[in-house]
Amino acid sequence: MSRTAKRGLVGGTTLGAFAIAVVLALGGSARSRSESEPVREIVLSARDVAFNEVNPTLALRPGERVRFVVRNDDPGVLHSITLPGIDSRVHFVRSGEEVAFEVTVPEGGRFEYTCPQHLPKMRGRIEVEAVEDVGP
């Protein structure tokens, strides 16, 4: 093999290794970013047949991790919460207590959260919309 061919091979190998290292580093940092992204917390207070007095509409992003904290501030009343289409569980909350649970938000759409014992009054909307990337 000629001296030029050897240099090309070595240069190509070095460049190839560098490219692989960059791809791995970017892939690793992308994973680290998504794993280290904070979990968004939403606190809801159940009282007088409503969540937070008005059953607010919640705007969430697809793929977002959300931690719901539901407090029962209604003396002597049992409440619960369920998020049909997002989380199939029913989370019961005794008077004076709170429950917390995490979900991963699905792709875009409209969902709801409800207290099954107090429908139709204890019902709020969840709107999932993609956020456009405004990066450089």
pLDDT at 65: 97
Contact between 128 and 107 under an 8 Å Cβ cutoff? The reply is yes
Hey, what amino acid is at 41?
E
Model pLDDT for residues 13-33, shown as the tens digit of each residue: 433 333 333 333 334 334 333
Q: How confident is the model at residue 55 (pLDDT cuts 50, 70, 90)?
A: very high
Question: Which strands form 50-51's sheet, in the order they lie side by side?
Answer: 50-51, 40-47, 65-72, 98-104
Segment 101-109 shows an average pLDDT of 94
Contact between 109 and 84 under an 8 Å Cβ cutoff? The reply is no
pLDDT at 3: 47
pLDDT value at 97 more than 80: yes
* CA 45 from centroid of its chain's CA atoms: 20
Segment 44-53 shows an average pLDDT of 97
Hey, what amino acid is at 71?
R
pLDDT at 63: 94
Q: Measure Cα distances from 6 to 2, 9, 12 in Å.
A: 6, 5, 10
